[in-house]
Amino acid sequence: MHKVLLSVLLSVMLVAAGSSVALALQSGGFSVGNLETGSVVGQSFKSLDVDLEFTALMLGGKKAWYPGTAILDLRNQGTLGRRGQPILIKVTNTLKGEHGFNLSADSAFAGPTSMQVEITVKPGETRYIGIPMSDLTFVTAPGSMKVRCQLHEAHLTSHLMIFK
Ligand SMILES: [Cu+2]
């Protein structure tokens, strides 16, 4: 009798632990995928507008993420604004080798909860990154982020300015 009770208790605890892990994963965090099947916080990539586009290409003989400076304007546009709609970034690698896409706060201003996105993109590949608006809440005050390639030191750094 005791053994049965114990196993029931244990399984209840396991279920509880499992569901809290699932909840933790659902709250925030970026997700990566393709346009057809990807989704972020329950919204399919297809239903979102592409807010930003970065392309890995050769620029003056150097590998770069283009554009060198991009702007994400989150200030209300129109009567309804964004209404918390997630950000969708399109990342394309036109180069022959694999490159990294790392989006993070300017290290000088980065806090412990600062957003950090890091993926790799194969040659000729396009990937989409969905970022919940809640993650952008923690972007540091100056709203300046860097786009780097974590695989190559020489790869030119780009900047993302966020107006909010
Ligand atoms: Cu690179």
Model confidence over 135-155: pLDDT tens digits? 877 666 668 889 999 999 999
Q: Tell me whether the omega of the peptide bond preceding residue 67 falls within 30 degrees of 0, making it cis.
A: yes
Q: What is the token pair recorded at 8?
A: 């029931």
Is 112 inside any structural domain?
yes
Domain residues for 106?
Answer: 30-163
Q: What is the token pair recorded at 14?
A: 């396991």
Q: Residue 161 is inside which H or E element, if any? A: strand 158-163
User: Domain holding 61: CATH number?
Assistant: 2.60.40.420
State the total domains in the chain: 1
What is d(CA 49, CA 145) in angstroms, rounded to the nearest whole number?
A: 21
Say if CB 154 and CB 63 are below 8 A apart: yes
- Compute the distance from residue 122 Cα to the ligand 1 centre, in Å: 10
- Compute the distance from residue 38 Cα to the ligand 1 centre, in Å: 24
Q: Is the pLDDT of residue 160 over 70?
A: yes
More confident residue, 26 or 120: 120
Residues bordering ligand 1, an ion, CB closer than 5 Å: 99, 149, 151-152, 155
